[in-house]
Amino acid sequence: MNDELLLRLLNLPVLFGWAVMVFAPRARVTRWWLESDVLPLVIGGVYLVKVVPYLPALLGEFDTLEHIHRISEGRPGMVLAGWIHYLAFDFLVGRVILADAQRRGIPHLLVVPCLVLTFLLGPSGYLAYAGVRLVSRRFLPAVAPLPPVAVEPSASR
């Protein structure tokens, strides 16, 4: 499979995941995206397959910007691996943001810009969400904590 096709095949489910997180945050399909690790595991597996051939070139080359730039020079597969890395981690961060916001009772309209920023600019979206969390603690009514998990006493013998 060529890299262009692989890029398209990986982008589609990730874009769908982002769309349901933004537009249907409480839908059953969104719950599945939040609770299932299928997509991150598939993306992680593809990432591993794409990056393993470049491991010798990667070892020890993260100490200067010049070395980091050289990692992808003449290695289009490495550029794809980098993109896959972004897809996986940004999506995971988006899942964390949405799940945390729902648990805390933060209005979804406050979360949407954070999700969009995370999708487009990764860490800046998480930073924005940290700000939303801080502001929401001050101005929103406290969310009742989740009840503790009941532990059944073990049968003594």
51-76 pLDDT, tens digit per residue, is 888 877 777 667 778 877 777 777 77
Do the domain assignments include residue 147? Answer: no
Q: How many CA atoms lie within 13 A of 107 on its CB side?
A: 7
CA separation (Å) from 66 to 69, 78, 157?
A: 5, 16, 66
Number of domain units in the chain: 1
As a whole number, mean pLDDT of residues 80-97 equals 92
Do the domain assignments include residue 145? Answer: no
Q: What digits encode the pLDDT tens for the residues 122-141? A: 999 999 999 999 988 766 65
Element (H, E) at 71: helix 65-72
- Residue span of the structural domain in which 20 resides: 3-139
What pTM did the predictor assign?
0.79
